[in-house]
Amino acid sequence: RYVALVGTPTPRNAHANANSRSKTTARRKDTGRGARRDPKRTTNTNTNIRELSSGIDLIRDALETAFVDLDYELLTALRSKNVHPDETTPAAHAHSAAHPPKDRNDDAPPSPPIPSESGTTATVVLITPDWIVCANAGDSRAVLYTCNNNGSATSCTPLSVDHTPDLPAERERIERANGTVTSGRRALVDGRLQMSRALGDFDFKGVSVTPHAECSLATPEWRHAAKEWKVTPFPQVVVHHRNRADGCLVVASDGIWDVFSNEECGKLIDTLAVHEGESDAGLIAEEVLDVALTKGSRDNMSICVVPFSALLNFVGKGGGVARRRKRRA
C-alpha cells in the first residue's frame, strides 16, 4: 500500500548525471488507516502460515521483477535518445520510427549521447498491515526503529545492506563476470564504481546504450542475465513482521548515512518527536537533512520518514522543528 522510493547519484565517482539523479527530498506524512493502526493479529495455524508465506513470496517476486524490468526500460529509453540523426542502420531507423522526437528542429545540433555510466541506487519499502518488505540495490538504506513504552527509540533494525564490492558474495559475482575489485579508501568495481548493485550503469553490464550496436534483449533473457552482471539491478529483499513496538521507518540515501550512524539518526528523530513535540514527519525529515548539512555531508540527500503508532502515541510537547529554526535564525 505504501511505497517509498529513494534514488541517489554519487557524483564523486561519476555514478550519475542529470539524466538519472533526483534531488528531491522524499517526504510522507503518516496518513491512512493501514499505517496508523496496530498490525493485525493472525492465528498461528498451518493454513495461515502457508497463506502468509505465499503472499510474501509473491511480493518478493514482484519487487525483484520490478527492479530488473525498470533497468531494462532505462536501457530502452537511453537507446531511443542516443540515435544520431545521421544514423542510417536499420536498427536506428526502427528506433527513430518507434520514438519520434517531439517538436524536432532539424537545424539544431544533435544532443550529446547519454553516457552508459549513468546510474542510480534504489530502495523500495512496501508496508502492509502485517509486513514491512524492503527491496534494495545500492547503498541507500532503510532502517526500522523500535520504541519502548514511552515512545523512545531503543533499537534499530537495518532492512537493507549497503551493496559494496568488497562484500564476499558481491566480490564473487563480480569476479565471475571477469570484473575486478580494487581496494583503497573504498572498494571499487573495475576501479571506478563503489556500488555493486544499481539501476543503469550499463557500462558495467556489457550492454551498449547505442541502439544499433546490438539487438535488443528480450525481457526474460534480461532477467536471467541480470543476476550475474558485475553490477546487477537485482535487489536484496528483507522482510519484517510488524509488531506494536515498531516506531519509525527511515529510508535515506548515502548523503545521510555518510554523517549519521543508524543509531544517531534514530536518536535525533526520538529527540524531535518525543522530547521536542514534532509530529509532522515531513518537518522531521527536513530537520535531519539540515543537521546532516551542518555535520558536513556534501553528497546528494533524499530521506523518507514514516512514523508508526508506537512513536506517534508519545509525541511530546514543545515547539518542534519550528522552534529549532527560530533559534537558528
Beta strand pairing status for 131-137 and 122-127?
antiparallel
Q: Is the residue at 66 inside a domain?
A: yes
Strands lying side by side in the sheet with 246-252:
153-158, 141-147, 246-252, 303-307
CA dist list (Å): 204 to 76, 277, 323: 16, 47, 48
Q: Does 259 map to a domain?
A: yes
Rounded Cα distance, 285 and 262, in Å:
15
Domain assignment present for residue 217? The answer is yes
Q: Is residue 108 part of a domain?
A: no
CA distance 56 to 239: 8
Q: Which of 47-56, 58-67, 289-298 has the lowest mean pLDDT?
A: 47-56
Residue that wins the pLDDT comparison between 10 and 319? 319
126-140 tens-digit pLDDT? 999 899 999 999 999
| Residue 316's CATH number | 3.60.40.10
Task: Indicate whether 223 belongs to any domain.
Answer: yes
Provide the number of structural domains found in the chain: 1
pTM of the model: 0.75
Q: Which of residues 145 and 13 earns the better pLDDT score?
A: 145
Residue 15 in any domain: the answer is yes
DSSP 227-238: TTSSSB-PPEEE
Q: How far apart are CA 175 and CA 182, in angstroms?
A: 11
Q: Evaluate the CA torsion angle 173, 62, 198, 158 in order and state its sign.
A: negative
What grid cell was written down for 194? 563503489
Domain residues for 12?
2-89+117-328
Question: CA angle, 59 as apex, 308 and 7 as ends, to 5°?
Answer: 65
Q: Residue 297 CB: number of other CB atoms within 10 A?
A: 18
Tell me the mean pLDDT in the region 131-150. 92
Can you tell me the distance from the alpha carbon of 326 to that of 329, in angstroms, rounded to the nearest whole number?
A: 5
| pLDDT confidence band for 49 (50 / 70 / 90) | low
pLDDT over 70, % of the chain:
68
Asked, for residue 229, whether it belongs to a domain, the answer is: yes
Q: pLDDT, tens digit, for every residue of 257-308? A: 999 999 999 999 999 999 999 999 999 999 999 999 999 998 889 999 999 9
Residue in this structure with the C-alpha cell 525498470, named with its chain if needed: 70
Within-domain flag for 70 = yes
Buried b (16+ CB within 10 A) or exposed e, 106-121: eeeeeeeebbbbbbbb
